[in-house]
Amino acid sequence: MSHIRFAPTVLRGSAAAVCALTLALTACTSTRSAHPSATADPLPSAAEAAPAGTACPAEVPASTTCWAGRDSAGAFYLIAVPKDWAGTLVLHAHGGPELGAPKAERTAEDLGRWAIMVRAGYAWAGSTYRQGGVAVRAAAEDTERLRRIFDQYVGKPRRTVLHGQSWGAGVAARGAEMFTAQTLGRQPYDAVLLTSGVLGGGTRSYDVRTDLRAVYQYLCHNHPRPTEPAYGVNLGLPAGAHMTRADLKARVDECLGLDRPAAQRSAEQQSRVTTLERVLRIPASSILSHMNWATFHFQEISSQRTGGASPFGNLGAVYAGSPDDAALNAGVPRLAADPAAYRQFAADTDPTGHIPVPVLSVKWIGDPTAFVELDTQFRTTMEAAGSGSRLVQTFTRQGTHSYISDPTYPALMSALLAWVEQGDKPTPERVAARCREAEAPYGAGCSFEPGYRPAPLAARVAERTRP
C-alpha cells in the first residue's frame, strides 16, 4: 500500500505526528474478505493521482490532517483524519444537488458542517461529485471512487460507514445497492447512515413540487405569464429558457408577498399563501425553496436527463384544503408524466431496497424539505426487498433539515457501529439513551422521539396515476 509524501509546510503538526499517523493508518487494514461470486464492478477503473496535503477547515480540531484532490472523473474531494483516529471512515454523500460545474469549496463547506464526525474521532471524506444536477447513480460512483482513493493513498479503514444527507441519502442508498460484495468481491461499506433523507426516490419525492407548480399556476398565473409561451410546468422551464433565482423570487413575491410579514400582505396574497400551505402541507417559509427546485432542478432533469420529456405528473391527484376544492381540482393544470422519462428517472433515482448492510436513519419530524412520511416509503421499499430487518429509523422533535444537533450524530454512529461489530441492533429508545450520554462531551441537543411512527406518504402527498 502506498502513502502520500507530505509537504511539511502544508500539514499541521510535527513530522513525528505525521509518522505516527501514517503508522496508525497502516494498522487499520480491512479484514473484509473476498466474495466468491462477484459480478462486474459498476465503476470503471482508472488511475487516480495522489491527493495533496491541505489546510483543514477551521471547524475541525487543529490536530486534524487533511488532504484534497480531484479524481479522474473531475470531482473535487476533501479528506480529514483526526489525530487519534481509531479506524472508522465516514464517507459522505452531500445533499442538494447543486447545478453547474463542481467547485472545490463545496467539500470544505461540507466538512465544516459535519466537523462533529471528526471531533468524535472518525475520519471523513466527501466528494463534490463530477457534475451538478440530478444524477444519482453518477454521484454514487463518485462517492465510491473517493473510498478507493482513501484506501489507496491514506489507508484501509477498519470500518467504512456511508453517510447520506438530504438528497445525498438517496445517493447513499443507491450506492449501497450498487457496490456490494457481489459486485466488488468484498463488502465496501459496513453500514449506512441516512440523515434528513429524501428517501422516496425521484419519482415520489418530487411529487409535492409538481403539485406546487400546478397549484401555484392555478392561483398566480405568472410562471409562465399569459403573455409568455406556454409550456407544461412539469418541465420546470423549457430547455434553453433562462431565468435567474432573483427573477423567480420576484414572480413569487408578486403573487404571494413572501418578501414581507403576513400582516403586510394583501388579503389576496395571504389567501393564496394559506391555500398553498393547506393543500400542499408545506410552510410559507419553504414555498420559495420548493419553487426553486421545481423550476431549475425540473428543467435540468427534463432537458439533461430524460430527453426533453418530464417524468413528473399529477393525473389523478385530488387536492384538498382550499376554499373551493371542486374549483381547484377542475382548474389546476393536469400534467402527464412521460412513460419513458419516468422509467429512465426511476432507474437512476429510485432505491430498490437491496442493501446488504445495517442502515440507520434519522429525520426531524417537522422537516419541511424531506417530509417525514418519505421514511415510511423507504421502509416499504426495504421490506419489499427483504431488507427490512436491516433498517432502524429514528425521529427527532427538534432540528432543521440541514442539521439536527451535535450530540445526535455521534449517538447514531456509536449505535450503528455497535450493531456492525457486536450484533447489537439498536432500538430508537437505545439511540435516545446514547444521545443523552453524548450531551456531556458534545453539548445539549437531544430530542429523539422513540415512539414516533410516520404516516404513509399518501397521507401527506396526493396519490396519482403513474406510468
CATH number of the domain where residue 403 is located: 3.40.50.1820
Give a yes or no: residue 1 inside a domain.
no
Question: Within this chain, do residues 222 and 247 fall inside the same structural domain, yes or no?
Answer: yes
Cα–Cα nearest to 60, from 106, 8, 120: 120
CA atoms lying within 13 Å on the CB side of residue 1: 19
Give a yes or no: residue 9 inside a domain.
no
Give a yes or no: residue 434 inside a domain.
yes
pLDDT for the residue 43:
92
Three cell numbers at 2?
502506498
Question: Within this chain, do residues 171 and 224 fall inside the same structural domain, yes or no?
Answer: no
pLDDT for the residue 38:
55
Give a yes or no: residue 374 inside a domain.
yes
Domain boundary residue among 320, 346, 372?
A: 346
Question: Within this chain, do residues 169 and 117 fall inside the same structural domain, yes or no?
Answer: yes
Question: Within this chain, do residues 238 and 361 fall inside the same structural domain, yes or no?
Answer: no
Ordered DSSP codes for 351-387? ------S-EEEEEETT-SSS-THHHHHHHHHHHHTT-
pLDDT for the residue 174:
97
Give a yes or no: residue 6 inside a domain.
no
Question: Within this chain, do residues 226 and 333 fall inside the same structural domain, yes or no?
Answer: yes
3-state SS of the chain: helix, strand, coil percent to 5? Answer: 40, 10, 45
Question: Within this chain, do residues 142 and 213 fall inside the same structural domain, yes or no?
Answer: no
pLDDT for the residue 14:
34
Cα–Cα nearest to 393, from 378, 406, 381, 404: 378
Number of domains in the chain: 2
Question: Within this chain, do residues 57 and 121 fall inside the same structural domain, yes or no?
Answer: yes
d(CA 266, CA 260): 10
Domain boundary residue among 290, 319, 346?
A: 346
Domain span at residue 270 reads 205-346
Neighbours of 459 (CB within 10 A): 12
pLDDT for the residue 46:
86
Give a yes or no: residue 294 inside a domain.
yes
Total count of residues recorded for the chain: 467
Question: Within this chain, do residues 338 and 354 fall inside the same structural domain, yes or no?
Answer: no
pLDDT for the residue 456:
98
- Return the biggest CA–CA distance within the chain: 74
Question: Within this chain, do residues 35 and 57 fall inside the same structural domain, yes or no?
Answer: yes
Asked if 195 and 404 touch (Cβ cutoff 8 Å), the reply is yes
Give a yes or no: residue 57 inside a domain.
yes
pLDDT for the residue 45:
84
Q: What is the mean pLDDT of each run of 10 residues along the chain (467 residues)?
A: 31 36 43 53 90 97 98 97 97 95 96 98 98 96 98 97 98 97 95 98 97 98 97 97 97 98 98 98 97 98 97 98 98 98 97 98 97 98 98 98 98 98 98 98 98 97 97
Question: Within this chain, do residues 149 and 162 fall inside the same structural domain, yes or no?
Answer: yes
Give a yes or no: residue 109 inside a domain.
yes
Question: Within this chain, do residues 180 and 82 fall inside the same structural domain, yes or no?
Answer: yes
Q: Look up residue 128 and give its DSSP letter.
A: -
Asked if 81 and 159 touch (Cβ cutoff 8 Å), the reply is no
Three cell numbers at 146?
473517493
Domain boundary residue among 323, 346, 369?
A: 346
Question: Within this chain, do residues 112 and 20 fall inside the same structural domain, yes or no?
Answer: yes
